[in-house]
């Protein structure tokens, strides 16, 4: 994994923690759905980066 990808991974991980923190607060239904969707998108981005890295390791 290159430095740029590591930085992206850390950014996504920080975003996940931020969204998880928001979910522990009092949100209305619309806000909760928005945060849950963003959380899902951040987790997907993390999985994509990790799987891409594993594929590159396998092809080397």
Domain membership of residue 59 (yes or no) is no
Per-residue pLDDT at 60 exceeds 80: no
Domain membership of residue 60 (yes or no) is no
Residue 4 confidence (pLDDT) = 93
pTM of the model: 0.87
Residue 40 confidence (pLDDT) = 98
pLDDT band at 1; cut points 50, 70, 90: confident
Domain membership of residue 21 (yes or no) is yes
Query: Read out DSSP for 1-60?
Result: --HHHHHHHHHHHHHHHHHHHHHTS---HHHHHHHHHHHHHHHHHHHHHHHHHHHHHHH-
Range of the domain at 27: 3-54
- Number of domains the chain contains: 1
- For residue range 19-49, what is the model confidence (pLDDT) as tens digits? 999 999 999 999 999 999 999 999 999 999 9
Domain membership of residue 18 (yes or no) is yes
């Amino acid at each position: 994994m290159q430095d740029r990808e590591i930085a992206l991974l850390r950014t996504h991980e920080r975003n996940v923690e931020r969204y998880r923190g928001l979910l522990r607060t009092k949100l209305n239904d619309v806000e909760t759905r928005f945060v849950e969707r963003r959380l899902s998108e951040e987790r997907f981005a993390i999985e994509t980066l990790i799987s891409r890295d594993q594929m590159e390791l396998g092809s080397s």
